[in-house]
Amino acid sequence: MDGIKPARVADHIIDDLRKRQRNGLIELPRLKLRPGDRVRLLRGPFAGHLAIFAGMKPRERVVLTFLGAQQRVTLPQDDVERIRLHDY
């Protein structure tokens, strides 16, 4: 929604959603993370910092342990990437 009226959505976005439709449902991309995986934050004021993946919340948001065990944050899944030990 855009306030009280429906939002306009670009045709290419609608086309992409239709391509992912299976039996009336849209297949969402899967984030291949498991609790304990190390991730790098890609956007925002802490971009480049490392965190530990703690799990998923509804609406495709990731929960991270950040700055040791001091902070727990919830971010869109596109804002993190999995890293391997030799990546940092």
Question: Which domains can be identified in the chain, with CATH numbers?
Answer: 29-87 (2.30.30.30)
Q: In terms of residues, how long is the chain?
A: 88
Q: How far is CA 51 from the centre of its chain?
A: 14
Q: What is the pLDDT of residues 39-77, one digit of tens each?
A: 888 988 888 988 888 887 766 667 777 766 667 778 888
d(CA 79, CA 62): 9
Q: What is the pLDDT of residues 21-40, one digit of tens each?
A: 888 888 766 667 888 888 88
d(CA 30, CA 69): 26
Instruction: Count, in order, helices (H) and strands (E) of the chain.
Output: 1, 7
In a 13 Å sphere around the CA of 56, the CA atoms on its Cβ side amount to 10
